[in-house]
Structure 1
Amino acid sequence: MKLLFVVNALLLLEISKAAPIRPFQDETSFKEAIQAKNADVFFMRFGYMKNITTRTRHVNKAVKRKEAIRKFQQFNGMNITGELDQETIEKIKQPRCGVADFNESSRDRPLQFNAQAYQWSKRRITWKLTGYTNQLSNSTQKSAFECALKKWSDVTPLIFENTDSFPDIEILFARGNHGDGPYNAFDGPGRVLAHAFYPTDGDTHFDEDETWIFRSGKGTDLEVVYVAAHEFGHALVLGHSQNTASLMAPFYKRMDHGWQLHQDDITGIQSLYEKTTENRFVTESSMVVMVCPFNAENGRLTWRGPPNLYPYSINNQMNATIFKSHDLKLIDNFRSGDYTLVIRNFIAFHVGRYQCETTKNKVAFRHRFNLFLKDTNAIEMKPSEIDCTNLSKVVIKCILKEQNISTWKSTWTHKYNGQLIRHPGSSVNRFISTMTIDACSFHDRGIYTCSWHSDIARYNSSATVEVLSKPVLVDKSADIKDELGFVIFKIWFYSNPNPFQLKWFDNDQVLNGQIDAKHGFRETTLVIPVFGTQVNITGYSVFLQINHTLLSNSLVFQCHIENTLGFINVVFDELNTSEFDEDMYSSSTKEMFSVPESM
């Protein structure tokens, strides 16, 4: 007889004659149902109240019902009143899983993650859809169940395979009494949506009378991936969780597209099926050492590898043909059951899955190594070098060539002169990630690195963006040297390409080597803010030193700076030295250049 999560065998026999619980239409009908004792049936069915038999009629049912209500309220994160208040009534009416929240064996504790006796002893589990719904295409249904199973295989070493033969997990849609006993019959739209069995049965059934959808829908439509993932949690071992945010909470809730398992679900499943996989990217011609994390002191340890996890060795008995042709060896302390597999010279031929396995107390332990050849050409950047002019648009495409493993995600980073500046946004269409700069400025200059990563791999590639623009003013200042009788005007600027013309003007007249004026130009290092980060860049500084006597006759001094893409005019317009404000120009840069006192 199947061991169903819904309730234990004794409870099935005692209350199987009760009518299925129908959805309550309103509060009045709900109260009438309470009078008809259907509330007691509900709490017995889901494990909140023990079965009241002819031998226990003396028990005060009102007291037991109050205890059951309090337990129900506590388990589902509600206000604990012990009364069938409106909040409790509405919760009971919500659609949920048909598996019990408690049973006799749990001794009034939630069925959380304590079912080790029922876990699968193998890591490759087969499934088959034997009863299709007519609401979705057959291919869509299979895709939905593959997505649901993947939620669990992503966090465990379990492998799920669709089979045409007799499966470990049989999946079907059915109506009413579908062979699991009258008490476990589906009840039409609403209330119980599906149920599943413990390992090593694992069969999972869905109510055909519900409205099922795949990744979209409105109102009362049920997302089949979410419900299926919940039921497969039962089929793997898990009971219901008291964490209302968990997938394994008993009541159905709508989820956003792209939802992931809650940490509560992951902790539970990994406590029984720990994910034991190592992913390595190996340089060609290097040695690979695979250390098995467990030993087989009193048993046997098997090494397997490509193709198709073919057996390579059992303890220290090696397949001589394999070890010679694959250039392998076994090392470590064989007496203590330690066996390490070594590939002497790794080449593309060795790429694949390797696995060590042993059995202890009738439980199989496996550890897997996924070996990949490190490929520096896995990503193509188009283009890889970009020269953009000021305010022009830049589009860089990052194309992933390795498209046959796992689920890939893409991220970008921007570095300016070696410093991490930001993580620019991007758009992803299948295996092409596109990063766009709408209006290029000198802040956008730098190295842009695209990273494609999955649960078993990561590839990076970079593109260089060089910004071409007319000169850009970074800072300017005026320094009065009263004791020396002159003033120094300074300008710091960025220019790419290099400036080819620098001219100082006094009241629109070019200064040409006057005795009372000196000027100079040099390359220097500037510190500027780039998207909130202070970075060093290569820039330029120019200065003009003039005597006070020249200031008294001048209204405006300006510097004309020009490159092949344009020019800027930097103006100093103080009337005389007595009114000159030495602090009027704030300096955001630390310039590496100073004028000698003797100038």
Structure 2
Amino acid sequence: MKNTGSVCVLVLALIFVGSVCAQSKTEEFLLKYGYLAERSGNNRAENPTPEEIEQAILKFQRFTGLPQTGRLDETTKNKMIAPRCGVKDLGGDLAEFRAVSKWPKNLITWKIRQFSETSKMSHGQQRRAMRKGLKRWADVTPLQFRETSGKPTLDIIFGKKNHGDNHPFDGRGGVLAHAFFPRNGRTHFDDDENWVNDKTSGTHLETVAAHEFGHALGLGHSAEPKSIMAPYYQTFPDGFTLHKDDVAGIQKLYGKNPNGPITTTTSKTKKTTPTSTPRSTTTTSPPRGKGFCNHVYRSIDAAMRIDENDFVFVDNGKVIDGRTGQKMAIQNLFYDGPNTVHAAVYSKDFSKAYLFKDNQVWAYTLSHYGQFRLVKDFPKRFTNKYVQKPECAMLYNFHGERIFLVKDGYFVEFMPYYETVAPYRGYKTSDFFLNIPSRIDAAISSDNKVQFIVKDKAYTMPNDVRVVSIRGKPTNLAFNKCQN
């Protein structure tokens, strides 16, 4: 009987350990691919709550077109372990395509710096697979691709496990490859895979290369299951053309092929994302003239600068990304963010972007992929009624970084360390900043100055003198040049 009891205890222990390991792997997967928010600060050591795990699983199921149960059922488990790309799924942004960033030129050079040493494919076959993968994108854009022996735009290697980029591969199966967005260009393939130039006996290199080059050119993962940019490995028939979703995404970044119309797949696959926010690049309201990144808009609601790139919030619900020139719904760039923004600012001291709407603040970090990720426990509410719906957020950088919210001629300090707003009415703005406009639409701050935007004019204040110029300049001159 004692032996039997020991066996029972051992079996129960193994079941418990197995369950804990399975839970840990699930959390690791959901975190790795952007479905769980990363912990930061004092919360770094905390485990996700069951509710957070359930919501993350729901996001994963929605993105991959699985039944949305919120449970780790067998179908979901099998999908998680299927061969796929190692790039994040971008936190579950379910738009039809995800155009992230772009190269500032149409001539893209490439080189296989390190060939596969395990594949039976010759070096010539590997290079042909790369050419064919790149041609998919050249066929629908003005892009030209040229192999080079010098320093390339797209640096291609085959490597195993830890291969030098802090994103190790995991052996055969699982992650097949990954690539970095512009302006990085590194494109890496797992040399533990069985790379082949057919579709029956291993992993088809041309198909995976086409997918990874989509990332290297600026596209994120797509929730459209027939897209080449869907995250999971799939094979396509010979002679296939890119799905219309892929074409829409890449042409959003680089434009159409000037040599003629493009034929795309005629698949009528049902969208997996019927509730996603539609993307819009123009306004149907009467235009007031071309503005930032050559877009038309009626009003500027907020603005912020991050590493010389400007983000301008316009028309009560849109944002223009100065890195790509895209105009889109705010929640397409700031996942789980507000649908409109009253003020915005970026803190270098805390490496966070703050968006303000009504009496709430959202905080975002910027990943090395260039994606905004909502910080744990945000949005947060503040109770100071004097700065609800602020006119602008102003970063005043003189002997230290300070962030002020401005409204109705007063300013109140926002304190990132405490993640809240000071609990008093504040100080009269004109007592501290001479000639400051009485009503402000937005402010954009850099290391040495603040520019206040009022309708179609911008008024500059150097941080060291606190005197605002009374001579305004056209608003567009306040922004850094768009990168598109």
**TM (normalized to structure 1)?**
0.39
Q: Normalized per residue, which structure has more strand?
A: 1
Larger radius of gyration: 1
| Higher relative contact order (CA closer than 8 Å, sequence separation 6+) | 2
